[in-house]
A and B are shown apart, each in its own frame.
Chain A
Amino acid sequence: MFSYLARRVLIMIPTLLVISFLIFIIIQLPPGDYLSNKMAELQSQGDQAALDKIAFMRAQYGLDRPFIEQYLVWLGAWPGANGFEGMLQGYMGHSFEYDMPVSEVVGERLWLTIVVSVATIIFTYVVSFPIGVYSAVRQYSVGDHVLTFIGFLGLATPNFLLALVLLYLGNRYLGTEIGGLMDERYIGQPWTWGKFGSIIEHLLVPTIVIGTSGTAGMIRRLRANLLDELQKQYVVTGRAKGLSPGRLLMKYPLRMSLNPFIADIGNILPHIISGAAIVSVVLSLPTTGPMLLQALEAQDQFLAGSFLMQLAALTVIGMFLSDLALAALDPRIRLGAGGTR
């Protein structure tokens, strides 16, 4: 396992480096940048002082340097105007749109995003596990048909549409605004128990909206895998030998069908965060999603780049965790795979 851990980490580090390079290419791809657009706008207005400031910022943030040098400075592997000041040093860059460091712009939005994501993951697993098991064990029962129908509905409904429907229903029948992640009086205020309670109270709707499709997909996968296992001969033998249904289910088939359930951890993290971006716009959630969209629109390259890098890091870490869990859970050779190198 130790050797596995080392080899797996060794794949992870270059992967992150390659992703960071690709992200930097992508955020540089559109012609011009935030400052050149701003400069053109100010030139048309004849604002000389602002033009001087922009020229200073261009030099300050290394935008006049070669592409590779810009990338290395952003990464923190090459000295910039203020020495080594990049992601490796915890400095995510400067947001031109907000004229402040990215870390300050993101502020508590990052934590709120993590809260929403963790709540959604917990919701997905807690809801899908019992339903998936029930649907497989009671195949073609009324309960299975009802849950399958709800599952297909969940899969087919886009998150943002569900958010709009809930917004409408909340406003029409309950007379309340569902949007937001806390009461207005807590926005921008320091953390208190009241603020925490308000977030928990507001968390239910976004969690359901963001988690519904993932939950429905997970139910379908768990049901299909468990059904496959339940048809196998060892289960028939166990049943014939008089094992109780609960014990028979828990001992092997359930464990075997958990593999895709665990493997999904890697995919679910980035999926939730990227999927939550549109929902956050619809529900006015103060998470990082809407800010990422805005940063991409405005070509605020360091802000957009830091968001994309966080998303990539979450993907790679998620994959790493799911691979570790899978290696521990199922150390069997895959049928047909080469046993030795």
Chain B
Amino acid sequence: MTRRHVYPLRSLIADDLRALAGLLLTAGPLFLAALAPVVAYVLSGLSVLFLVFAIKALLRHTTAIEIGEGGVEDRTWPGRTIRWEDLAKVQLRYFSTRRDREAGWMTLRLAAPGARITIESTIEGFEDILRSVARESTRQTIEFSASTRANFEQLGIRLS
């Protein structure tokens, strides 16, 4: 049975607003007033960063991850598929922008020869995805890094 996971609208809107605020704060001054060259270079670089962030945020509106018997499929254009038997690397990383490292988010990265799929923890049913990945990757005897192993364990998923 194939399960379909999408990002909830609430998390997408939050990222859209972040992208918009970033672009306003960095690209805005470039058009409003003449800037010192150093300031202009820094703000231009940051504008590019937020532009890419905005594109990624917009693409996420169309993102759908499908988990099935055969593997993982990312339906975002142009579409990528990783078959379980090809799965070569699993990384689960935690990020937090707060100093106490509370209230962060996780990123699951799956890699196979020629394909890579990244899934953020804001997606609906993230823990179900993790359980499927843990089950299948154990069958493939994939080596996990210490931090990936610790993160899985924190979510109550044991990797053998």
Contact residues of A with B, CB < 8 Å? Answer: 1-11, 13-14, 76-77, 84, 88-91, 252, 323, 327, 330-335, 337-341
Contact = CB atoms under 8 A, between A and B. Distances in A.
B97 A11 contact: yes
Contact of A339 (B29, B52, B94): B94
A335 B105 contact: no
Contacts of A327: 95
Contact of A340 (B29, B100, B106, B146): B106
Contact of B97 (A4, A90, A332): A4
Interface string B86-116: 0000000111110111111111000000000
Band of interface residues on B: 35 or more
Given A8-B97, A13-B26, 7 more contacts: A9-B49, A77-B32, A88-B39, A89-B39, A333-B94, A340-B105, A341-B122
Candidate in B121, B151, B154 with the most chain A CB atoms within 10 angstroms: B154
A340 B25 contact: no
Contacts of B33: 76-77, 84, 88-89
B18 A333 contact: no
B155 A339 contact: yes
A77 B29 contact: yes
A3 B97 contact: no
A341 B35 contact: no
A332 B151 contact: yes
A323 B102 contact: no
B31 to A, nearest CB: 12
Contacts of A2: 52-53, 56
Interface string B24-45: 0110010011111111000000
B106 A339 contact: yes
B18 to A, nearest CB: 6
Candidate in A7, A252, A341 with the most chain B CB atoms within 10 angstroms: A341
B71 interface: no
